[in-house]
A and B are shown apart, each in its own frame.
Chain A
């Protein structure tokens, strides 16, 4: 009978980003997640129109496991 307990599978590394969105012009800026970030938190001033941006999304993206 074969072993059925899965051995530690390779995890692709996940990088977490915060996406700041300008509520006026809709410009989105993706940057690395910083501790203390949360969705709807005020972000930096919009680089396009100078309005206050907001963190719209926080998500993780997998990097392609490099050889």
Chain B
């Protein structure tokens, strides 16, 4: 079934005739490829994206259903929440304008805080109870459903746009991104299973590690959803900060650290942050990395606040990171990650011994979602 004229077929022709057929064949192939090559690729790309889009649709519907089921079964919502949930999924957060960047972070913080407060108020009203764990889990489930809804919408937008305009480059780019999009969406959907039952997620390794320093100590609220306890290690006073568990909170570690320094008047000689970090493919889950700088993800507000207060007060920032994939970070904590907590505490103690002296104050912050991790 070869398209190439075989030497057998050319028997009986003179050398010039066979050469001529050869040239015509390849010239034809060239013209065909030139005229229809992209169309064929567009056809395959459309097929491919269409299939992916179907999967995304199933995922988004599943996450919506899971959220509604949770609100009804666990949250004991008095009325059918479906309609409210659908409105929720399309709710938009309009980010502040960035053309005058002065003070932008505070504006972003303001918008994000407003949104978070709104979400909590809405969820509390919807389920008609205020068990903080149930409310926080509902918030997270709705966030997952919103994210999947958004991903589906955007992919669908470019799919239809590419189809309408027959745009080769739009479709090929989308097709190339599709495996990553599906993978991340799959991770989000998987997160629902651990969230529903309140199991700690991989991202909770920071809170798990620092919670050990807080057991039995007096806790005080130092920022919204964030607690602080004072502990001691080899003559150093530790101000240990984490989100308030076992709710699915990430808290406000930026404001918490600022409050410890500016409002309590503590002069720390180091801020040590423990967080989960995305591993590169090929790196081992649960591996520990050390570094300097503010170890915190997210939109950047908290990171800015921590860097700002650390710079103003000339406090060195140290980071202890536990490597994991995006899937592992948002689904139930894997054994390798959980068991890294012992090593994290050892590393933390070593860093404290190396970087500070007896009598110093040290801030230790466990960053991440503290679902299923109290203190």
Q: Which residues of B contact A (CB under 8 A)?
A: 41, 44-45, 47-48, 51-52, 55, 175-176, 178-179, 182-183, 197-200, 208, 211, 215, 245-246, 331-335, 337-339, 341, 372-375
A2→B56 CA distance, assembly (Å): 20
Report A1-26 residues with CB < 8 Å from chain B CB: 1, 3-6, 14, 16
Contacts of A40 in B (CB 8 A): 211, 215, 245, 373-375
- In-complex Cβ contact of B48 among A4, A58, A60 (8 A): A4
Return the 7 tightest CB-CB contacts between A and B, nearest first. A38-B246, A59-B338, A39-B373, A60-B332, A5-B52, A40-B374, A1-B44
Q: Determine whether the beta carbon of B48 is less than 8 Å from that of A5.
A: yes
Q: Determine whether the beta carbon of A60 is less than 8 Å from that of B335.
A: yes
- Chain A interface residue count, CB cutoff 8 Å, equals 21
Instruction: Kindly name the residue among B48, B182, B200 whose own CB sees the greatest number of chain A CB atoms within 10 A.
Output: B200
Q: List 24 A-B contacts (CB under 8 A).
A: A4-B175, A4-B176, A5-B55, A5-B178, A5-B179, A6-B182, A14-B332, A33-B197, A33-B199, A35-B198, A37-B372, A38-B198, A38-B200, A38-B372, A39-B208, A41-B246, A57-B333, A57-B341, A58-B338, A59-B200, A59-B337, A59-B338, A60-B333, A61-B335
Query: With contacts defined as CB atoms under 8 Å apart, how many contacts are there between chain A and chain B in the complex?
Result: 83
- In-complex Cβ contact of A38 among B182, B332, B335, B374 (8 A): B374
A61→B337 CA distance, assembly (Å): 11
Q: Which residues of A contact B (CB under 8 A)?
A: 1, 3-6, 14, 16, 33, 35-41, 54, 57-61
Q: Determine whether the beta carbon of A38 is less than 8 Å from that of B48.
A: no
With both chains docked as a complex, state the minimum distance between the C-beta of A22 and any C-beta of chain B, in angstroms: 13
Q: Determine whether the beta carbon of B52 is less than 8 Å from that of A58.
A: no
Contacts of B372 in A (CB 8 A): 37-39, 58
A56→B238 CA distance, assembly (Å): 21
Q: Determine whether the beta carbon of A1 is less than 8 Å from that of B374.
A: no
Q: Determine whether the beta carbon of B373 is less than 8 Å from that of A38.
A: yes
Q: Determine whether the beta carbon of B41 is less than 8 Å from that of A35.
A: no
Q: Determine whether the beta carbon of A1 is less than 8 Å from that of B211.
A: no
Known: A40-B211, A54-B215. A35 touches B182 (CB 8 A): no
Known: A4-B178, A16-B199. A59 touches B41 (CB 8 A): no
A40→B197 CA distance, assembly (Å): 17
- In-complex Cβ contact of B211 among A16, A39, A61 (8 A): A39
